[in-house]
């Protein structure tokens, strides 16, 4: 790792005063490091422990490049990481991207004013998504649905297609005073996914309740201040993308079916059998 640090200093012209901190966690078998200069993060690096993970590193870097290019002439330009460098070091592919400023949304909503903060975060995320999805929606997708959707009934898949983050949650949304979110961690990105499903992942995570089941119920099926607020957000989103609210609503069940599939893949469905029932029933959401 020391050699990688020296090479990065030369490539990025950051000098010996810069520090690189390797995070303890890993993303999809990739090591993550953060470059600090004057105590501020400037770059993020990713690489695998072994050459067999080079394809994952390349996929991550290309996803970052694709998203960055999609926003290059957009009002949301600068809200996604910039791909900086991709190089081989001792047989390992190393990806370098710019670091973005902001407070992770998961920390932002940990406040005694949680209701107000949740509304602010969800509103800014919907504003950002409405621009990103509208500018890049696909009317005639050429690829098969991404992993987690291929098994789903084709009737359910007949819906809006476009760029999909696939982990659009509060830890990957950075909040600043300008109320323009920065979105990070694009390693699961797909160009022809189901963008509205991203929004359902976010609203369920931000929902009321100490269990996933309660959060789903309070975000989709129970009339409360949150679903009243979400109705306003989804109507704004549908208007921006020129789609019907029924198109938005049908994605709720698509979200649940995908969530059930991904939970089963991780071996957690035995303790969450209710999730399969939800995905089969196609319950009517309240907004």
User: What domains can be seen in the chain, in order of their start residue?
Assistant: 2-98 (3.30.200.20), 103-281 (3.90.1200.10)
What number is the average pLDDT over the span 272-280? 66
**pLDDT one-digit tens code per residue, 117-153:** 999 999 999 999 999 999 999 977 777 788 778 777 7
Q: Is 90 exceeded by the pLDDT of residue 197?
A: yes
Mean pLDDT for 257-271 is 72
DSSP string across the chain = -HHHHHHHHHHHT--TT-EEEEEEEEETTEEEEEEEETTEEEEEEEEESSGGGHHHHHHHHHHHHHHHHHTTTSTTTTSSPPEEEEEEETTEEEEEEE---SEEHHHHT-STTHHHHHHHHHHHHHHHHHHHHHHH-BSS--SPPPTTTTTS-HHHH-S-BEEE-S--SGGGEEE-TTS--EE---TT-EEEE-HHHHHHHHHHHTSSSSSHHHHHHHHHTS-SHHHHHHHHHHHHHHHHHT--HHHHHHHHHHHHHHHHHHHHHTT-GGG-HHHHHHHHHTPPP--
Q: Which residue has the higher pLDDT, 45 or 199?
A: 199
Top-ranked range on mean pLDDT: pick from 6-10, 34-38, 204-208: 204-208
Which pLDDT score is estimated for 92?
87
Whether residue 270 is predicted with pLDDT greater than 90 in this model: the reply is no
Q: Which residue has the higher pLDDT, 246 or 146?
A: 246
Task: Tell me what pLDDT residue 144 has.
Answer: 78
Taking 60 as the threshold, does the pLDDT of residue 155 lie above it?
Answer: yes
Mean pLDDT is lowest, of 14-18, 84-88, 136-140, 182-186, for 14-18
Whether the predicted pLDDT of 99 surpasses 80? yes
Least confident of 62-66, 106-110, 126-130, 140-144: 140-144
Mean pLDDT for the chain overall: 86
């Amino acid at each position: 790792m020391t050699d990688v640090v020296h090479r990065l200093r030369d490539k990025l012209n950051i000098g010996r005063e810069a520090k690189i901190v390797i995070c303890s966690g890993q993303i999809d078998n990739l090591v993550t490091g953060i470059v600090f200069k004057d105590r501020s993060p400037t770059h993020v690096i990713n690489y695998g422990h072994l050459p067999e993970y080079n394809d994952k590193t390349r996929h991550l870097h290309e996803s970052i490049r694709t998203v960055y290019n999609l926003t290059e002439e957009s009002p949301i330009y600068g809200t996604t990481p910039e791909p900086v460098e991709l190089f081989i070091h001792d047989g390992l592919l190393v990806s370098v991207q710019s670091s973005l400023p902001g407070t992770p949304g998961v920390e932002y909503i940990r406040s005694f004013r949680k209701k107000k903060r949740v509304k602010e975060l969800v509103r800014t995320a919907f504003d950002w998504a409405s621009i990103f999805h509208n500018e890049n929606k696909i009317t005639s997708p050429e690829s098969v649905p991404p992993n987690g959707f291929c098994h789903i009934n084709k009737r359910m898949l007949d819906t809006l297609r476009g760029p999909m983050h696939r982990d659009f949650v509060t830890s990957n949304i950075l909040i600043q005073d300008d109320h323009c979110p920065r979105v990070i961690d694009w390693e699961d990105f797909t160009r022809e996914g189901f963008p509205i499903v991203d929004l359902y992942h976010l609203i369920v995570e931000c929902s009321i309740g100490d269990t996933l089941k309660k959060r789903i119920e309070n975000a989709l099926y129970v009339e409360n201040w949150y679903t009243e607020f979400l109705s306003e957000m989804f109507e704004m989103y549908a208007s921006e993308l020129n789609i019907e609210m029924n198109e938005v609503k049908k994605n709720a069940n698509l979200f649940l079916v995908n969530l059930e599939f991904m939970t089963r893949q991780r071996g957690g469905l035995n303790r969450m059998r209710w999730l399969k029932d939800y995905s089969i029933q196609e319950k009517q959401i309240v907004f």
